[in-house]
Structure 1
Amino acid sequence: MLAHAPIHCVFKSVLIVDDHPLFCDALSMTLQSVANIGEIHTADRLDRAIEMLEGGLEPDAIMLDLNMPGVQGLEAVRKLIGLAKAPVIVVSSMTEDCLISQVIHSGAAGYVPKHSQRDVFRNAFKALQNGETFLPEGCVLLEPDEDSVRNFEAQRLATLTKQQTRILELICQGKLNKQIAFDLSIAETTVKAHVSAIIRKLGVQSRTQAVLMAKRAPEINRL
């Protein structure tokens, strides 16, 4: 764990920024149980969270899911840190060391994988109260550099199937779903399903972000 300025407060209220109602409910119950947090606020999108903070909400901590509408990766972390006088803890299903390192170097106070048991959330809040930055067990914090970002993106791109990779190549060429369906002799609904899977696997929020990531990859650029 990394040391930072101690947080001299008892966590009484938390703002959860996540667009999955069931996860918000489960996380709320977990925080009430393991950290005795009685006041839970939720926002299902980033701009709503910003409205709440600008409207006077002062939570003791913020828990943010990176993979949700309106969240532009690390920019969301920086934006919330700038607005709130509270530590930001990222809660995400993505657990690559490179991503966690980027999040921490962007100023987040901790990173908790979404699949974590209750004790992990308890330990995260204990770490913050002790002036430590919380990292998942086994995480290796990497120094921020361009190569680590490229490696992370390459790992995400490698999770695509051959068909998804081909569709992403065609998207990079500026082709629409109807054109892609014609080129590959598949239904347009099948293309849409593949595009949704591509966006989910890459951890981005739009076709445009997927294209930007793909164009940074040498394998795509050579085709």
Structure 2
Amino acid sequence: MGEVSAVVHQKLRVHLVDDDYLVRLGIEKLFEGSPLIDVESVSSTGNSAIEEALSLNPDVVLMETMIRDVDGIRAVREITNQAPQVKVAMLSSNLSFDVMREAYRAGAVSYLSKSAVSSDLGAAIRMIHHGETIFSTSPEVGRFPIPVMTQDASDHQVINSLPARDRSILSGLTAGRTNAQIALDLHVSEATVKLQITKIMAKLNVGGRVELAVFAVRAGFHSI
């Protein structure tokens, strides 16, 4: 009799950082018994978050921005500088654009609202682990509250002045598509898309792919 093979899904190891006991308890309960996600450790302060993340090497860290001793932004920076393989996502009730921008610059790969703490949070964690950024207008993350940002007229004009090809690439970027997917959409090479994104970032004076998406959404540009 032949052997029966089975696909074994290894649980994603999550480190949760929040100084609110009820929030920590609620999220732990949410994933209690989950076959896919294990909240294996929790921290209530920034210093302990850094220590635990560096020693345990979790797959994903969920980090509140407002925590004791070392704030969440600084903790993100310390973790991503010393352990770049660890994906850090902010999970906060503070949806200020400036705070979001600082989090991205510090190394956070995503920014989630605490109102997204539901069964959808598990899907977000898995997407983040697989390299997705939860800040877009893509259908997969549309259920997550996207911060309302004041549209800047000058930013909007700058984006509208970009060549059509650049705007098409930006459209794909804000929709959460990968370079390979954008290249397929536009019938160009992935290298061309990567180079063009670098040029767009230089034109708009932004420091990274995520910040570029934030800039575009803030300016009122949406995927088409």
* TM-score, structure 1 normalization: 0.51
- Residue 118 of structure 1: SS of its match in structure 2? coil
Contact 2:14 2:59 in 1 (8 A): yes
Structure 2 counterpart of 1:72, one-letter code: D
Render the CA deviation track for 1:193-222: whole Å, top value 9, x for unaligned. xxxxxxxxxxxxxxxxxxxxxxxxxxxxxx
Unaligned runs of 5+ in 1: 1-8, 143-223
Q: Once the 2 structures are TM-superposed, how far is the Cα of residue 46 of structure 1 from its aligned partner?
A: 1.5
- Residue 69 of structure 1: SS of its match in structure 2? coil
Matched, 1:25 2:25: yes
Matched, 1:59 2:67: no
Q: 1:166 — aligned with what?
A: none
Unaligned runs of 5+ in 2: 1-8, 136-143, 151-224
State how far apart, in whole Å, the 1-side matches of 2:112 and 2:10 are: 20
Render the CA deviation track for 1:12-49: whole Å, top value 9, x for unaligned. 21111111221111112224467721352011111122
Render the CA deviation track for 1:86-135: whole Å, top value 9, x for unaligned. 10011111112332233123221111111224144133223224421112
Q: CA RMSD in A?
A: 2.8
1:117/1:12 CA distance change after superposition, 3 Å: closer
Q: 1:138 — aligned with what?
A: 146
Alignment of 1:11-160 (within 5 A): 11-32=11-32, 36-54=36-54, 56-84=55-83, 85-135=85-135, 136-139=144-147
Percent of aligned pairs sharing the same letter:
23
1:24/1:117 CA distance change after superposition, 3 Å: closer
State how far apart, in whole Å, the 2-side matches of 1:35 and 1:99 are: 33
1:19/1:131 CA distance change after superposition, 3 Å: same
1:97/1:53 CA distance change after superposition, 3 Å: closer
- Residue 75 of structure 2: SS of its match in structure 1? helix
State how far apart, in whole Å, the 2-side matches of 1:103 and 1:141 are: 16
Paired residues in the alignment total: 133
Structure 2 counterpart of 1:138, one-letter code: I
State how far apart, in whole Å, the 1-side matches of 2:38 and 2:113 are: 23
State how far apart, in whole Å, the 2-side matches of 1:110 and 1:35 are: 23
Choose between structure 1 and 2 for higher RCO, CA contacts under 8 A separated by at least 6 residues: 1
- Residue 24 of structure 1: SS of its match in structure 2? helix
